């Protein structure tokens, strides 16, 4: 079988001498991955699988991943459907050209093995040990500047593994269920949409990360150039149902905190500059506020990513 994979990859090799070398490799029990195979099509033995036509990462700047939990669940459904529908075929994830494309594909496959096949990160790393580091690219922050910190595949897989150990994520008990442990994937996908709220439950029953709201009078939201901004009143209505009792703002003032206070939600300002590490006094104050809070804490900066994620992660650690 290995010889047939090798022969197929060579037969489909690009003619340009500058093109990257093609490969086709069986990852695990009928699950394969291949790249630089422009003429690859489904046969009686191999099923061409291109989930990237349905799963895409929308970058903010020069970032390219990793994909979110909703995409991981969707990918697991897609590949299992392929395996069931074509039991006599090896399913080949035909990856588009590029290091970033391969990195995202490997991440998806590894996440599938952890979430669905109950593997540990070290097992997944061993499975992909044949891949050269030069063929992959570590994930970076959501800017166009030179990154000074990179996130590896191992980091991402460890995060998934940790979420399972904490009991936050687990396989659905029913095939039709959207509940993956403490995460309702349908709800997650709905609120993840930038048109619905652009927020996420980061720690179940403890933390929500959301994009900074704006003051906009009587309106709940406004649409400008395909971009939707939300008012604090919009979030207040949703947050009450999610058990939010406190909001922490980390960026400059862009709305009146009275909007949250009127809904019975406490509000705190802990401003520090974007793209910087939080000062020690901000960290101490954040930890104290969260420890004293009964209920869910919703945290935001401008985009609800950098400063927000940093402080939530510090609390988790």
86 Rama sector, left if φ>0, alpha if ψ -120 to 50, beta otherwise: beta
How far out from the chain centre does Cα 233 lie?
A: 27
Banded pLDDT at 38 (limits 50, 70, 90): confident
Q: Could you tell me the pTM of the whole model?
A: 0.87
Structure tokens that stand for 169 in this block: 């994520």
Whether 115 contacts 121, CB under 8 Å: no
Q: Does the active-site annotation cover 2?
A: no
**Catalytic entry in 32, 89, 156, 301:** 301
Domains of the chain (ranges, CATH numbers): 2-165 (3.90.190.10), 193-316 (3.90.190.10)
What's the pLDDT score for residue 5?
A: 53
> What sections of the chain are H helices per DSSP?
2-11, 69-85, 99-115, 121-127, 153-165, 185-192, 232-241, 258-261, 280-292, 306-316
The 10s digit of each residue's pLDDT in 155-206 is 999 999 999 999 999 999 877 688 999 999 999 999 999 999 999 999 999 9
Assess contact for 272 and 282: CB atoms under 8 A: yes
> Cα–Cα distance between 314 and 270 in angstroms, integer?
15
Does the pLDDT at position 299 exceed 80? yes
Residue whose C-alpha is closest to residue 272's, from 236, 299, 233, 234: 299
Task: Determine the 3-state secondary structure of 90 from DSSP.
Answer: strand
Mean pLDDT over 289-299 rounds to 98
Residue 124 to residue 128: CA distance in whole angstroms? 6
d(CA 24, CA 159): 28
């Amino acid at each position: 079988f290995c010889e047939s994979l090798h022969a197929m990859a060579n037969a489909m090799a690009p003619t340009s001498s500058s093109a990257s070398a093609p490969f086709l490799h069986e990852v695990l029990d009928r699950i394969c991955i291949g790249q630089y195979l422009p003429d690859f099509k489904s046969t009686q033995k191999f099923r061409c699988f291109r989930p990237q036509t349905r799963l895409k990462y929308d970058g903010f700047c020069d970032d390219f991943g990793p994909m979110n939990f909703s995409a991981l669940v969707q990918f697991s459904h897609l590949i299992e459907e392929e395996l069931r529908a074509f039991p006599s075929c090896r399913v080949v994830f035909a990856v588009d050209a590029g290091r970033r494309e391969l990195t995202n594909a490997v991440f998806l496959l590894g996440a599938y093995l952890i979430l669905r096949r109950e593997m540990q990160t070290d097992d997944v790393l061993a499975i992909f040990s044949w891949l050269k580091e030069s063929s992959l690219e570590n994930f970076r922050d959501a800017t166009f500047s030179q990154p000074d910190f990179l996130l590896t595949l191992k980091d991402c897989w460890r995060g998934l593994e940790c979420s399972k150990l904490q009991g936050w994520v687990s396989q659905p008990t029913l095939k039709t269920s959207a509940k993956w442990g403490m995460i309702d994937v349908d709800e997650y996908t709905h609120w993840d949409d930038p048109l619905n709220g652009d927020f996420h439950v980061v720690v179940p029953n403890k933390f929500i990360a959301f994009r900074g709201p704006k003051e906009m009078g009587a309106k709940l939201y406004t649409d400008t150039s395909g971009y939707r901004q939300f008012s604090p009143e919009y979030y207040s209505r949703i947050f009450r149902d999610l058990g939010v009792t406190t909001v922490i703002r980390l960026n400059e003032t862009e709305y009146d905190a009275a909007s949250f206070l009127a809904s019975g939600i406490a509000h705190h300002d802990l401003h520090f500059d974007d793209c910087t590490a939080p000062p020690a006094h901000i960290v101490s104050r954040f930890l104290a506020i969260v420890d004293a809070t009964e209920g869910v804490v919703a945290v935001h900066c401008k985009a609800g990513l950098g400063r927000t994620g940093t402080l939530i992660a510090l609390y988790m650690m």
